[in-house]
Amino acid sequence: MKAAIQAVEFNHQVQQLLAACDLPTEDLLLPVTARRLFGCQLDGRLAGLVGVEIHGPDALLRSLAVADSARGKALGAALLAYAEQYAAAQGVQTIYLLTTTAETFFAQRGYSLAQRVAAPAAIAATQQFSGLCPAAAAFMLKRLNQPAG
């Protein structure tokens, strides 16, 4: 399955998809200058979403969600790779995330567990980190390869 991934704004479909996946939406209403959402449509509906919030050399990956009916077709992996490439192009060196549901998915894609106390201040200050994700959520990171030149 090949679906075009493009920038999307926070809207009702985004809200619905994230809610269906039990992922937080409340902080998406808050302005974060360097937050971008990317999504893809299938049959005219938002089928997948990923978000990235950039804080200098660090980024928070969030809101990775694929609709139930579209799962298992490599959409999640494609969205993750897209967000990583976008972040790397912005000069991000390390991506961080919190997850209660998909630790193995991320571990298979190069993410490793990290100590929350080691989080950079800007990542620790995000709503996801400081309140929205439960303390039991796995905190993971991946170092990105910087483009040559």
Ligand X SMILES: CC(C)(COP(=O)(O)OP(=O)(O)OC[C@H]1O[C@@H](n2cnc3c(N)ncnc32)[C@H](O)[C@@H]1OP(=O)(O)O)[C@@H](O)C(=O)NCCC(=O)NCCS
Q: Is 66 in the site for ligand X (CB under 6 A)?
A: yes
DSSP structural state of residue 110: T
* Part in contact with ligand X (CB under 6 A); list of ranges 8-16, 25-33, 38-46, 65-73: 65-73
The span from the CA of 119 to the CA of 53, in Å, is: 14
Q: Is 104 in the site for ligand X (CB under 6 A)?
A: yes
Q: Candidates 32, 105, 122, 124: give the one binding ligand X (CB under 6 A).
A: 105
Q: Which of residues 43-62 bind ligand X (CB under 6 A)?
A: 62
Q: For 67-133, list the strands marked E by DSSP.
A: 94-99, 112-113
In contact, 46 and 61? CB cutoff 8 Å: no
Residues 6+ apart with CB under 8 A from 99: 106, 137, 138, 140
Residue 58 C-beta: closest distance to ligand X, Å: 17
> Which of 6/108 has CB closer to ligand X?
108
* Part in contact with ligand X (CB under 6 A); list of ranges 3-11, 97-105, 120-128, 134-142: 97-105
In contact, 95 and 122? CB cutoff 8 Å: no
List residues near ligand X by CB under 6 A: 21, 23, 62, 64-66, 71-77, 99, 101-102, 104-105
